[in-house]
């Protein structure tokens, strides 16, 4: 057994050239083969790639989908995002856990099935959803959860759970998924017809620097959320000293409530790969990497088939479209369940076979990124825009949207609305229009851009979706008036606490203190001074955290506080001086009372 | 002349180091005595309050039921309550027991420790000994605290600045160099 493990692990490492920068792929292959990356396997990997055991272990223990301890042959990951929670996560979890006879996080005694939960898996428009190994199941109910468990017990084959397939390419033989696209509004950039090769052909008639100029003139800004001008990023990479350059597509959409890249990856795959090749031509790169989040593993065979098809048709590979010397290849790097890898420097770390820990900046990735080489990291949607801009021209693109934010935006709308799904809308549309389009009623609160951006109340529903007002990477979450804003904030604090890498103290410790404070107010024990303290602590965490996660994590709390006014009376009151309500003296002395056999005199 | 504001101090589960730092005000302690009236404090050895106080200064966290009782009394008797030093704010050394069950702590201290001579195997249990809490609580987890002066101990200057600001009705924001120790 041990020798078999050593032999197979050795073969896996060899398949990836014993290359330590491919450690992610190695660890995932080992996990797939053995159900875990055991300490023995870690020793073998370290030996084969000439690294250290600690390097392997720090990688394996970092990612949610990698495990040191054996897991079941089938792993059910129930999505625990707030939207799933609103749509019945708890009753589904309870039903499945009873049917399996194990609690959350446990494996059935026969080692067949593990039941656990996952943060947002990108299915908020069809919640509650779960990943069963890499197979997605949507619209769960307690009864369907029980049935799913009974079926799995019989055949242990997740793919057999898919009885109805979704629309569009979800029906493709290589996808066969029950996921639905739910495209509610088709815009001209992403969901209009796109002739494969047309954007690329136009790009290759230009000089690389003119392609960059075209992108700059379109005033395309990054669609991942930060809104950095794409042309400027490309120019920095093109001008940076260095030989090899890389184009990375960030397909790690992990922001809770975001699922638009999932639809673009399913329906606009060619347009995306074309955008990458154009980027490669513009900055002088011959290698592209798509960093695909582990939750979207079910799209991998399809993505790879599209890459192959484009190689055959001369849109990728050597001498693309007959242009001598222009070569561009793309590989897919799978992620393994880490929210932070959506941050570009953490994503680069992950591509390098390291734990997804953000890097210090400067140097910025366009100067020194992947393996120290100039690298551009662009969101899926940004790269799709690139193909269309080259095809239709910068002026066409810039004529849409708001003055300082051009083009259209693909939004994923979910929550308390009748029509959750994907909407391609021009930038500058108001939050109120989104409420109407998605047929939401009685809306009390919206999270624009997911929890790491901003929570707004009704007084800001007139605000516009653009980088100067309500910025978003795509997530629009809608909550009706019955939802408690602070509970929403607390839910997301739990998420950020789980996803914090623990590297810096303000984020690791501060978020827990903040959660305690929020919880106290929810419990009705808060005082006005607690609100001020929550604000101070939030600002401290934002100012002192090392990366974007900590710098964004307190935003839902700040948002809730800002629109707290109408709620505060019921929650917060001045209290008489004395012991705090959350301090329970009788509980604090019970150990001692039992030990010495007498009662406290002051309880 | 208006009555001077009254100030009370106490050391709970602390080492009196913060009070030493208070005494380290040197001749300024005379100036302080001119500005305020000392009420309950180890400095004058008053065991209980004589009147309501403007400021209560608390060193150390809560380790026993008596600490809780005293802290509650301070909260009720003082307008402003100030946590000073590591132990009051974070628990400090006494909080090192927080991850060990109380029973194990007592057995280690009275029965198992090297050098312990305790042939009867008795763990002290006189009714006058206050009961221990299951863990140490920093003060702000027991009562509301208005102000924190960090340090182990906070330097005399930090205490002086804070008290003088409070007496003058100014916000007692400590200067950066009072808070950094490297």
Question: If you count them, how many residues does chain B have?
Answer: 182
For residue A564, the model assigns a pLDDT of 66
For residue A306, the model assigns a pLDDT of 98
For residue A485, the model assigns a pLDDT of 87
- Cβ separation A593–B131 shorter than 8 A: yes
- Cβ separation B131–A592 shorter than 8 A: yes
Q: What is the CA radius of gyration of chain B?
A: 18
- Cβ separation A592–B133 shorter than 8 A: yes
- Tell me the DSSP string of A489-507: HHHHHHHHHHH--S-SHHH
Tally of structural domains, chain B: 1
For residue A603, the model assigns a pLDDT of 72
Please name the residue of chain B whose CA is at the shortest distance from the CA of residue A600: B131
Does residue B167 surpass a pLDDT of 80? Answer: yes
Distance CA A397, CA A403 (A): 12
CB < 8 Å to B144, chain A: 527, 529, 575, 577, 580
**Looking at residue A208, what DSSP letter applies?**
H
Residue A459 burial class via C-beta count within 10 angstroms: exposed 0-12, middle 13-18, buried 19 and up:
exposed
How close, in Å, is residue B140 to chain A by CA atoms? 9
- Tell me the DSSP string of A94-154: HHHHHHHT--TTEE-TTS-EEEEEES--S-GGG-S-EEETTEEE-S--HHHHHHHHHHHHH
For residue A574, the model assigns a pLDDT of 81
Distance CA B121, CA A415 (A): 63
Query: Are the C-beta atoms of A262 and A380 separated by less than 8 Å?
Result: no
- Cβ separation B135–A583 shorter than 8 A: no
Query: Are the C-beta atoms of B17 and B153 separated by less than 8 Å?
Result: yes
| Residue B33 counted as domain residue | yes
| Residue B108 counted as domain residue | no
Please name the residue of chain A whose CA is at the shortest distance from the CA of residue B136: A588
| Residue B116 counted as domain residue | no
CATH number for the domain spanning B59: value is 3.40.50.700
User: What confidence category does residue A568 fall into, taking pLDDT thresholds of 50, 70 and 90?
Assistant: low
CB < 8 Å to A586, chain B: none
How close, in Å, is residue A74 to chain B by CA atoms? 36
pLDDT tens column, A188-239: 999 999 999 999 999 999 999 999 999 999 999 999 988 999 999 999 999 9
Please name the residue of chain A whose CA is at the shortest distance from the CA of residue B64: A589
User: What confidence category does residue A92 fall into, taking pLDDT thresholds of 50, 70 and 90?
Assistant: very high
Which residue has better confidence, B50 or B178?
B50
User: What confidence category does residue A450 fall into, taking pLDDT thresholds of 50, 70 and 90?
Assistant: confident
Pairing of strands B53-59, B6-11: parallel
For residue A541, the model assigns a pLDDT of 97
| Residue B181 counted as domain residue | no
Give the residue-averaged pLDDT of B135-150: 94
- Cβ separation B134–A590 shorter than 8 A: yes
How close, in Å, is residue A584 to chain B by CA atoms? 9
In DSSP terms, B147 is beta-bridged to B82
* A277: CB partners within 8 A, 6+ apart: A200, A288, A315, A316, A320, A328, A330
Taken in order A161, A164, A165, A167, the sign of the CA dihedral is: negative
Average pLDDT, chain A: 94
Please name the residue of chain B whose CA is at the shortest distance from the CA of residue A584: B142
Does residue A83 surpass a pLDDT of 60? Answer: yes
- Tell me the DSSP string of B52-107: -EEEEEEESBEEEHHHHHHHHHHHHHEEEEEEEHHHHHH-TGGGGGGGS-HHHHHH
Test mutation, A582, A595, A599, chain B, max B CBs within 10 A: A595
User: What confidence category does residue A257 fall into, taking pLDDT thresholds of 50, 70 and 90?
Assistant: very high
- Cβ separation B65–A598 shorter than 8 A: no
CA angle A52, A55, A58 (to 5 degrees): 145
For residue A23, the model assigns a pLDDT of 96
Taken in order B108, B109, B114, B115, the sign of the CA dihedral is: negative
| Residue B180 counted as domain residue | no
Give percent above pLDDT 90 in chain A: 85
Give the residue-averaged pLDDT of B102-131: 92
Give the residue-averaged pLDDT of B147-159: 92
| Residue B123 counted as domain residue | no
Give the residue-averaged pLDDT of B105-120: 93
Q: Which positions in chain A have a beta carbon within 8 angstroms of at least one beta carbon in chain B?
A: 527, 529, 575, 577-580, 582-583, 585, 587-593, 595-598, 600-603
Instruction: Give the burial string for B114-127 (b: 16+ CB within 10 Å, else e).
Output: eeeeeeeeeeeeee
Pairing of strands A475-480, A443-448: antiparallel
How close, in Å, is residue A36 to chain B by CA atoms? 31
How close, in Å, is residue A545 to chain B by CA atoms? 19
Structure tokens belonging to residue B107: 């057995």
**Looking at residue B110, what DSSP letter applies?**
I
Give the residue-averaged pLDDT of A104-113: 94
Query: Are the C-beta atoms of A247 and A276 separated by less than 8 Å?
Result: yes
For residue B125, the model assigns a pLDDT of 87
pLDDT tens column, B53-88: 999 999 999 999 999 999 999 999 999 999 999 999
Where is A39: in which H helix or E strand?
Answer: helix A39-48
Where is A552: in which H helix or E strand?
Answer: helix A548-552
Rounded to 5 degrees, φ, ψ at B15 are -110, 10
Give the residue-averaged pLDDT of A243-265: 96
Q: Which domain holds residue B165?
A: 6-95+134-174
Question: If you count them, how many residues does chain A have?
Answer: 603
- Cβ separation A589–B101 shorter than 8 A: no
Distance CA A43, CA A35 (A): 16
Query: Are the C-beta atoms of B7 and B38 separated by less than 8 Å?
Result: yes
How close, in Å, is residue A592 to chain B by CA atoms? 6
Where is A425: in which H helix or E strand?
Answer: strand A421-426
Q: How far is CA B64 from CA A588, A602, B9, B81, B133, in A?
A: 9, 11, 18, 19, 5
Nearest to B68 among A585, A595, A596 (CB): A585
pLDDT tens column, A520-556: 888 888 888 888 889 999 999 999 998 889 999 999 9
How close, in Å, is residue A594 to chain B by CA atoms? 10
Nearest to A583 among B69, B131, B142 (CB): B142
**Closest listed residue to residue A143, CA positions, set A198, A85, A98:** A98
Q: How far is CA A199 from CA A59, A195, A250, B165, in A?
A: 39, 8, 21, 68
| Residue B127 counted as domain residue | no
CB < 8 Å to B137, chain A: 583, 588
CB < 8 Å to A590, chain B: 134
pLDDT tens column, A376-421: 999 999 999 999 999 999 999 999 999 889 999 999 999 999 999 9
* B114: CB partners within 8 A, 6+ apart: none
How close, in Å, is residue B133 to chain A by CA atoms? 5
| Residue B120 counted as domain residue | no
For residue A1, the model assigns a pLDDT of 65
Q: How many CB pairs under 8 A join A and B?
A: 71
pLDDT tens column, A278-324: 999 999 999 999 999 999 999 999 999 999 999 999 999 999 999 99
- Cβ separation B102–A595 shorter than 8 A: yes
Q: How far is CA A338 from CA A59, A293, A378, A407, A547, in A?
A: 11, 8, 18, 30, 14
- Before B160, cis peptide (omega within 30)? no
CB < 8 Å to B134, chain A: 587-592
Give the residue-averaged pLDDT of A56-62: 95
CB < 8 Å to B123, chain A: 595-596
Query: Are the C-beta atoms of A326 and A237 separated by less than 8 Å?
Result: no
For residue A570, the model assigns a pLDDT of 58
Taken in order A554, A559, A561, A564, the sign of the CA dihedral is: negative
- Cβ separation A588–B133 shorter than 8 A: yes
Domains along the sequence of chain A with CATH:
2-62 (1.10.10), 74-163 (3.40.30.10), 184-399 (3.40.50.11540), 405-480 (3.10.20.600), 486-571 (1.20.1440.230)
pLDDT tens column, A128-183: 999 999 999 999 999 999 999 999 999 999 999 998 999 999 999 999 999 999 99
ipTM (interface pTM): 0.87
pLDDT tens column, B7-52: 999 999 999 999 999 999 999 989 998 999 999 999 999 999 999 9
């Amino acid at each position: 057994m041990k020798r078999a493990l050593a032999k197979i692990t050795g073969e896996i490492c060899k398949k990836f050239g014993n290359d330590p920068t491919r450690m992610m792929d190695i660890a995932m292959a080992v996990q797939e083969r053995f159900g875990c990356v055991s300490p023995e396997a870690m020793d073998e990997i370290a030996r084969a790639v000439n690294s250290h055991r600690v390097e392997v272990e720090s990688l394996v223990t970092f990612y949610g989908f990698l495990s040191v301890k054996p897991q079941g042959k089938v792993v059910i990951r129930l999505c625990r995002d707030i939207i799933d929670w609103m749509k019945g996560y708890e009753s589904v979890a309870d039903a499945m856990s009873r049917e399996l006879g194990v609690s959350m996080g446990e494996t059935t005694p026969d080692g067949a099935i593990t039941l656990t939960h996952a943060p947002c898996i990108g299915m908020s428009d069809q919640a509650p959803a779960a990943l069963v190994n890499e197979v997605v199941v949507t619209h769960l109910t307690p009864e369907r959860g029980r049935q799913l468990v009974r079926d799995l017990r019989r055949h242990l084959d997740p793919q057999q759970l898919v009885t109805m397939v979704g629309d569009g390419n979800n029906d493709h033989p290589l996808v066969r998924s029950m996921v639905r696209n739910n495209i509610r509004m088709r815009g001209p950039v992403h969901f209009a017809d796109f002739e494969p090769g047309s954007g690329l052909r136009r790009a290759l008639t230009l000089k690389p620097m003119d392609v960059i100029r075209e992108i700059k003139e379109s005033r395309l800004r990054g669609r991942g959320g930060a809104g950095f001008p794409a042309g400027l990023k490309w120019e920095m990479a093109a001008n940076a000293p260095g030989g090899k350059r890389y184009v990375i597509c960030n397909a790690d959409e992990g922001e809770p409530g975001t699922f638009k890249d999932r639809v673009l990856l399913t329906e606009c795959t060619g347009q995306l790969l074309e955008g990458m090749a154009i980027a490669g031509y513009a900055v002088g790169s011959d290698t592209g990497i798509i960093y695909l989040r582990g939750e979207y593993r079910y799209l991998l065979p399809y993505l790879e088939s599209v890459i192959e098809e484009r190689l055959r048709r001369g849109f990728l590979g050597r001498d693309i479209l007959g242009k001598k010397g222009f070569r561009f290849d793309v590989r897919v790097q799978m992620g393994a369940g880490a929210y932070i890898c959506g941050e570009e420097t953490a994503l680069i770390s992950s591509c390098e076979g390291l734990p997804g820990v953000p890097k210090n900046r400067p140097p910025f990735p366009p100067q020194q990124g992947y393996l120290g080489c100039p690298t551009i990291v662009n969101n899926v949607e940004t790269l799709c825009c690139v193909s269309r801009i080259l095809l239709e021209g910068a002026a066409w693109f810039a004529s849409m949207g708001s003055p300082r934010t051009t083009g259209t935006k693909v939004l994923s709308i979910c929550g308390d609305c009748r029509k959750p799904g994907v909407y391609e809308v021009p930038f500058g549309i108001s939050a109120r229009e989104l409420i109407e389009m998605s047929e939401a009623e009685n809306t009390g609160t919206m999270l624009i851009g997911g929890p790491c951006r901003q929570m707004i109340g009704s007084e800001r529903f007139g605000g516009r979706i653009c980088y100067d007002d309500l910025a978003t990477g795509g997530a629009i979450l809608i909550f009706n008036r019955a939802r408690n804003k602070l509970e929403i904030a607390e839910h997301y604090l739990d998420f950020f606490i789980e996803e914090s890498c623990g590297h810096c103290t303000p984020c690791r410790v501060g978020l827990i203190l903040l959660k305690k404070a929020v919880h106290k107010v929810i419990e009705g024990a808060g005082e006005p001074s607690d609100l001020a303290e929550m604000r101070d602590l939030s600002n401290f965490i934002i100012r002192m955290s090392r990366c974007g996660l900590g710098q964004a994590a307190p935003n839902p709390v700040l948002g809730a506080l800002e629109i707290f006014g109408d709620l505060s009376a019921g929650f917060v009151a001045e209290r008489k001086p004395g012991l705090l309500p959350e301090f329970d003296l009788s509980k604090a002395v019970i150990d001692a009372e039992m030990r010495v056999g007498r009662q406290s005199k002051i309880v | 002349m208006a009555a001077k504001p009254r100030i009370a101090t106490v050391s709970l589960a602390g080492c009196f180091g913060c009070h030493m730092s208070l005494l380290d005000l040197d001749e300024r302690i005379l100036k302080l005595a001119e500005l305020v009236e000392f009420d309950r404090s180890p400095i004058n050895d008053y065991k209980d309050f004589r009147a309501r106080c403007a400021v209560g200064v608390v060193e150390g966290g809560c380790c026993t039921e008596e600490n809780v009782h005293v802290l509650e009394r301070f909260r009720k008797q003082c307008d402003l309550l100030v946590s000073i030093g590591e132990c009051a704010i974070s628990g400090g050394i006494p909080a090192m027991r927080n991850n060990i069950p109380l029973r194990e702590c007592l057995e280690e201290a009275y029965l198992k420790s090297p050098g312990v001579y305790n042939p009867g195997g008795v763990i002290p249990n006189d009714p006058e000994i206050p009961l221990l809490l299951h863990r140490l609580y920093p003060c702000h987890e027991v009562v509301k605290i208005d102000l924190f002066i960090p340090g182990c101990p906070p330097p005399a200057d930090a205490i002086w600045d804070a008290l003088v600001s409070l007496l003058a009705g100014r916000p007692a924001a400590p200067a950066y160099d009072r808070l950094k120790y490297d």
